[in-house]
Amino acid sequence: MGERHYLRPTGFVDAPFGLDGRVARLAGGLLWFSAVEVATVRDGRIASLDLFPVADAEAAAGRLGEAASDAWRNLTAPRAPLALGERVVRLDQPQVMGIVNVTPDSFSDGGRFGAADEAAEAGHAMSAAGAAIVDVGGESTRPGAKPIWEGDEIERVLPVVQRLAGAGTAVSVDTRKAAVMEAALGAGAAMVNDVSALTWDERSAGAVAKAGCPVVLMHHQGTPETMQAAPRYDQPVLFAVYDWLEARIAAAEAAGISRERIVIDPGIGFGKTVQHNLQLLNGLALLHGLGCPLMLGASRKRMIGALSGEAPAEARLPGSLALALKGADQGAQLLRVHDVPETVQALRVWRGLRDAALAPS
């Protein structure tokens, strides 16, 4: 596997005032960091850990090679806004993506919406409550789920997408299938969220490139049917996910998808144990080194139940909020959630704290 260096921003400070040259702004957002942890991974194992103050980080990265220098530039470069049709979603602060599953068998809200009107009404409510994007899905990808025919998936999502987009909502379609992507984009969706990172359908990358829309590339291991059958990695999961997403970004660019339209997602719960998930969440800021906006989808995930007496999905709001705020504290630009009003309120308080810290005294 050879040797590679990974840069993780750390030593976050409340504000940059009076610290010129000693702190750096993370991805153009509301966070500033004062140090960079450099992990040297050799043959799948951490060979060394070093900590550099920001003042020395650029030079240190330069000594470590081109990949480290690229990561340093990515950590400190602002992220361009996402253009979803006529809507523009700024990424200089955390934004909420609301989840609408038009499925009978999703792990949390399967069967909740019995008709397109009900699902669309839920999406309208999410938008009114502050969701920047509403993500509509018609196929469950919970552990153990089996794929469904694309025609059935289109039949589920299309009327919901049409209603939401027709009312001016920024809509994303959650699908692995090119035919569903094309149908939903034609009906007014303006973003694709693919849990397979454009690997499940050989036509999907071309469909996204042709549409010129933003796309979410999510890390996964295996398929929904098998992904939780004893997942394992040949190196620490954080670095394995980094390398895999880096390769998928390169593949998307090679297919004609502009890098500024690519969003990455570490795939919490997709081929990962609870310990894997926790390690990813603790090291999430490292993924900014890939230079793409970061989405976190941890809402109501099983890990919350595992850490709280096996609480069922409908009783995981407090844990979901804790993970959403963890994501915000590590610079995640998009938070994909079921509970939009509660998450928006939590982020408004979080933003109030940041604004107070950033107001010169």
Question: In the chain, what percentage of residues exceed pLDDT 90?
Answer: 87
Report d(CA 157, CA 99) in Å as an integer. Answer: 13
Beta-carbon neighbour count of residue 47 at 10 Å? 11
Domains and CATH numbers, the chain: 3-76 (no CATH), 82-357 (3.20.20.20)
Judged against a pLDDT cut of 50, whether residue 101 lies above it is answered with: yes
Average pLDDT of the chain? Answer: 94
Give the tokens for residue 99: 């989840």
Question: In sequence order, what are the residues at sequence separation of 6 or more whose Cβ sits closer than 8 angstroms to the Cβ of residue 124?
Answer: 164, 167, 169
**How much is the pLDDT for 125?**
97
Count the neighbouring beta carbons within 10 Å of the beta carbon of residue 304: 24
How far does CA 225 lie from the centroid of its chain? 22
Choosing from 301, 302, 316, 354, which is the catalytic residue? 301
For residue 107, is pLDDT > 60?
no
Q: Mean pLDDT, to the nearest integer, of 163-172? A: 97
Q: Distance (Å, rounded) from C-alpha 158 to C-alpha 210?
A: 19
Who wins on pLDDT, 238 or 108?
Answer: 238
| pLDDT > 70? residue 105 | no
Q: What percent of the chain has pLDDT over 70?
A: 94
Least confident window among 123-132, 178-187, 226-235, 264-273: 226-235
Q: Which of 142, 163, 302, 336 is catalytic?
A: 336
> CA distances (Å), 87 to each of 16, 83, 180, 335, 347, in order?
31, 6, 22, 18, 21
Rounded CA-CA distance 143/150 in Å is 19
Residue 89 φ/ψ region, left for φ over 0, alpha for ψ in the -120 to 50 degree band, beta for the rest: beta
Catalytic site residue 301?
A: yes
Name the residue among 300, 290, 301 with its Cα closest to residue 331. 290
More confident residue, 142 or 207: 207
Least confident interval from 23-37, 183-197, 225-239, 328-342: 225-239
Measure the CA–CA gap between 121 and 135, rounded to whole angstroms: 13
Residue 112 has pLDDT above 80, yes or no: no
Element (H, E) at 208: helix 204-211
Is the pLDDT at 113 greater than 80? The verdict is: no
User: What does the pLDDT read at residue 328?
Assistant: 98
Residue 227 confidence class, pLDDT cut points 50, 70, 90: low
Work out the average pLDDT over 130-159.
89
**Separation CA 294–CA 181 (nearest Å):** 21
20-51: pLDDT as tens digits: 999 999 999 999 999 999 999 999 999 999 99
> What pLDDT score does 360 carry?
75
Q: What are the beta bridge partners of residue 97? A: 133, 336
Q: Is the pLDDT of residue 1 over 70?
A: no
Judge whether residue 114 has pLDDT over 70. no
Q: In the predicted model, what is the mean pLDDT of residues 193-212?
A: 97
336 is catalytic: yes
Average pLDDT over residues 163-178: 97
Contact predicate 290/246, CB 8 Å: yes
Q: Report the 10 Å Cβ neighbour count for 314.
A: 10
Residue 110 has pLDDT above 60, yes or no: no
Radius of gyration of the chain measured on its C-alpha atoms? 20
Does residue 144 register a pLDDT over 90?
no
Q: Tokens 């702004």 sit at which residue?
A: 25
Dist CA 95 CA 343 (whole Å): 10
> pLDDT at position 18, please?
93
